[in-house]
Amino acid sequence: MKLAVRLDDLSEDYLRFHAQLGIHYCSFLFWPLLMSEEGARGIVKADALRDIQRQCRTFGIEPYCFLLPQGRDTQYWHARFGRSPEAEAEIENVCETIRICGDCGIPVIEWTWSIPDVFGRIPWPVNTGRGGARVSRFDYYLCQDRRPEYAVDMDADEMWANIIYFMERIMPVAEQAGVRMAMHHHDPPTDWLAGEARILNSFAGMKRMVEEVDSPANGFNICQGTVAEQAGSDVLGIIRYFGERDRINHVHFRNVKGSVPVFDESFIDDGDVDMYEAMKVYKEVGYRHIFIPTMSPASPETRPDSPRAHLPSATSARSYRSLSMTIPATLLAVTPYSPSGSPFRCRPILRWRPEPPRPGDEPG
Amino acid sequence: MIIGDRISTFTDDEFRFLAQMGIHHVNFAGKEHLMSEPGERGALKSDEVRRLQAELEPYDIRLYCFLLPQHPETQYWHARIGDPSLRDKAIADVCETVRVCGGLGIPIVEWTWYITRVCGRAYPRWETGRGGALVSFFDYNLVRDLRPEGTIELTADRMWENIIYFMERVMPVAEQAGVRMAVHPNDPPSPELGGEERVLSTFDDMKRLVREVNSPANGFNICQGTVASMADVDVLEVIRHFGERDRINHCHFRNVNGSVPRFKESFIDDGDVDMYEAMQVYKQVGYRHIMMADHVPKMDGDPTSLASRCYAIGYIRALMHAVGEL
C-alpha cells in the first residue's frame, strides 16, 4: 500500500510541502499540460508526461495514477453515447494514451463513465460537519427534476452496451501496455441522475462490470466515500470482494454520513465507516496501489473549516506507511493561504518562509 | 485517553478550528489577562476562567489542563531560585491557583521547574527535517559556555531543595482540591544548562521526584519528545513505570531524532520512537488524561503551522483508534 495525494500543481513549494508530509506517490490530471488537443482531448503527450515525472521525482514523488479527462466534450465524450466515427477516433486516442502511459511507467489509469458526471451536489456546502465545518451534501430530492442542458436520457441497457464496447476495446491495450485501469464508479450512486441510468451505483453493477470484460487490467478505483453512499452497501464486503480478486487498482480513502438519497461528505474520522476496519481489509487482501484523500469536484471551496482541511483517524495497525496513508488530507489545510480557494483549482501561494530566529523565542 | 490540544490565541477562530478537529479537551497557559497580578504573577483569576469556560461551552470544549506561568520572573520564579523572602508568597499564589482550578473543574495543573529559559535552544534555532521542513534542535556544545545576562547558577542540591520545598507545600493543596499536578521534565534534558544543574533530566531524576514527595497528586506531563531526548533512556519503560504507578497526568505525544547532547524535533512519524508501540503502552497502563501534539515542524506554505498541527492531531487520533481508545 502506498500513500499518495492528487497533485494539481507543480510549483516547487507545493511539491516540497508534500515531500514534508512524507508523500512519495501521486495521482494527477494536468490535462492542459498533457493533452495534445484543446479541451482535454487527443492523446497524452509523452514528452510532457516525462517532464512532469522529472519534476515530481526531484522531490521524491512518483506519478502513479493518471485520471483520463472526464468532463463534457473531453477526450472520450462521444464514446459514452455509443458507436460513431467520433467515438472510434476517441477510443483510439484513449488506447494511445494508455500505451504512452505504459511506456512512461505510469502503472494505473483512472477513468469514469457518466454524462451528468457528479451533478447534483448542493451548490454551496452546508455547515453540518463536525464543529460546524462546511461539507458537501447531496440531496436527490433537490435535484431529481433538474438536469444540465447537455444531459440525455439513457437507459441501463444502452449504458451497458456503450461501456462494454469501450472496455472491450481498451482493456487488451492496457494489458499489453502493463497498465491497470481503475474505474471510478458512479458518484453520486443514485439509480437515475439527470436522465442517465447509473449502472455502476451498486455492488451488483460493479460486479457485472468486471465480469463483462474479464481482464486483469479491468478494475476499480474504490472511491470508498462513494461506496459508502450506495444505498445499503456493505463497504467492507465490497472492498474484500474486489480486493481478493485483485480488482482494486486505486483507492479514494474518504468517508461520508448517510447514503443515497441524502448524504454529507464528512471528516475522514467522523463518517459512517470505521476507517481503521476498512484499512485492515485492504491490508488483508494485499492491496498494493495508492490511497489518496479526494476532493469532491462539487465542493466550491476549501477553507480551514472544511473537512478536507483535516485529518484521518484510521490506520493500518503496524506499519508507518499504511498509517500515514490516511494522513495526507492535511495538505488541504494549506488552502487558507491561497487567494482563490482550493489547491485543486488554482495555484496555491506557498511562498512563505519562516522568519529568522529571534533571540529568546520559543517553538510552539 | 483523551485527544487534546492547546488553546493559545483565545479567539473564535481557534475554538471553531478545535471543534472541527474534534478536540474537546484543551490545555491553556497562564497568560497575562488570566492572572491577578501583572507579569503573569499572582493567582489565576477565577472570574476570567469562568468567562472563558462560558465562551467555550458552545463549542463543547472543556478546559482540562492549566499550565502555570513558566518564564523568569513570573508567578513562582522565586520559589525556583529559592529566594527565602519571596518564595512563600509565590507558593501561596500557586496554591490558590490550584484551588481555583479545582473549584472550576480543571483536573490537571501542569508546571515546570527550571531557571534557564524553557527550551534553552540556541542559535541557530532551526534545522531541517523531512523534506526540508524546519524543526527545532538542540546541541549542547553550542550552548555549553553561554551565560546570558541574569544567569543564576544553582547546584543540583539547591535545585532539589527548592523543588522539594515547593512540592511539599503544593501537593497537599492539590490533593485537597482534587487536582493532579503534572510536571514537565526539563527540556532540553541536559544535566547542566546555563549554569543550572537540571534536576528533571533523567529517568532517575523523575523517579526521585515522585519519591521525594509521595502524593497521588504528584505526577508528570510525560513530554515524550523530552523523554526521548534524554540520554540513554528507554522511552517505553519510562511510560510503563510511571503509568503503572498512576503518575502520568498529562502527555505531550511527540517525537525526536537523537538525544542529548544533540537532538532535533521531528514529525511525529519520523522520529526515533515507534509511536504505535508507545501508544500501546499508554493503553496498557490505563492512561486516562490528555494526549496532545505540542511542538510541530514548520512546513512550507503553512505559516501558522495549522497543517502541521492537523497532521499530528490526525496521527494521534489514528493511533488512539488503532489501540481501541476511540
Write down the pLDDT at residue B301.
Answer: 78
The one-letter amino acid code at A26 reads C
Could you say which of B5, B93, B187, B294 is catalytic? B294
Catalytic residue flag (residue B250): yes
Catalytic residue flag (residue B119): no
Q: What is the ipTM of this complex?
A: 0.90
Query: What tens digit of pLDDT does each residue of B228-243 get?
Result: 999 999 999 999 999 9
- The rounded distance, in Å, linking the Cα atoms of B157 and A30 is 66
Across A310-317, average pLDDT: 27
- The rounded distance, in Å, linking the Cα atoms of B109 and B28 is 10
- CA-wise closest residue to B134 among A10, A355, A326: A355
Percent of chain B topping pLDDT 90: 75
A245 has pLDDT over 80: yes
Q: Is B150 on the interface with A (CB under 8 A)?
A: no
Across A213-240, average pLDDT: 96
Residues of B in Cβ contact (< 8 Å) with A303: none
Query: What tens digit of pLDDT does each residue of B170-186 get?
Result: 999 999 999 999 999 99
Q: Higher model confidence: residue A351 or residue A202?
A: A202
Q: Which residue among A21, A304, A330 places its CB closest to the CB of B17?
A: A304
User: What confidence tier does A36 reach under pLDDT thresholds 50, 70, 90?
Assistant: very high
* β-pairing verdict for B196-197 and B192-193: antiparallel
Give the DSSP H/E element, type plus range, for residue A237.
helix A235-244
A117 has pLDDT over 90: no
Query: What tens digit of pLDDT does each residue of B58-73 get?
Result: 999 999 999 999 988 9
How far off is chain B from A163, nearest CA to CA, in Å? 39
Could you say which of B65, B101, B223, B251 is catalytic? B223
Write down the pLDDT at residue B124.
Answer: 61
Q: Which residue among A276, A304, A364 places its CB closest to the CB of B321?
A: A276
Could you say which of B64, B282, B287, B311 is catalytic? B311
Q: How far out from the chain centre does Cα B63 lie?
A: 15
Could you say which of B184, B251, B252, B287 is catalytic? B184
User: What confidence tier does B150 reach under pLDDT thresholds 50, 70, 90?
Assistant: confident
Catalytic residue flag (residue B223): yes
Write down the pLDDT at residue A327.
Answer: 40
Query: What tens digit of pLDDT does each residue of B184-228 get?
Result: 999 999 999 888 999 999 999 999 999 999 999 999 999 999 999
pTM: 0.87
Percent of chain A topping pLDDT 70: 80
Among the listed ranges A73-82, A251-260, B115-124, which one has the minimum average pLDDT value?
B115-124
How far off is chain B from A25, nearest CA to CA, in Å? 14
Owner of C-alpha cell 508507518: A320
A362 has pLDDT over 50: no
Mean pLDDT across chain A, nearest whole number? 81
Q: Is B142 on the interface with A (CB under 8 A)?
A: no
Catalytic residue flag (residue B252): no
- CA-wise closest residue to B196 among B305, B303, B80, B44: B80
Across B141-157, average pLDDT: 85
- CA-wise closest residue to A49 among A1, A109, A5: A109
- CA-wise closest residue to B311 among A242, A84, A22: A22
Q: Is B19 on the interface with A (CB under 8 A)?
A: yes
A361 has pLDDT over 50: no
Write down the pLDDT at residue B303.
Answer: 80
Write down the pLDDT at residue B306.
Answer: 81
> Do B123 and A357 count as a contact with CB atoms less than 8 A apart?
yes
A295 has pLDDT over 80: no
A104 has pLDDT over 80: yes
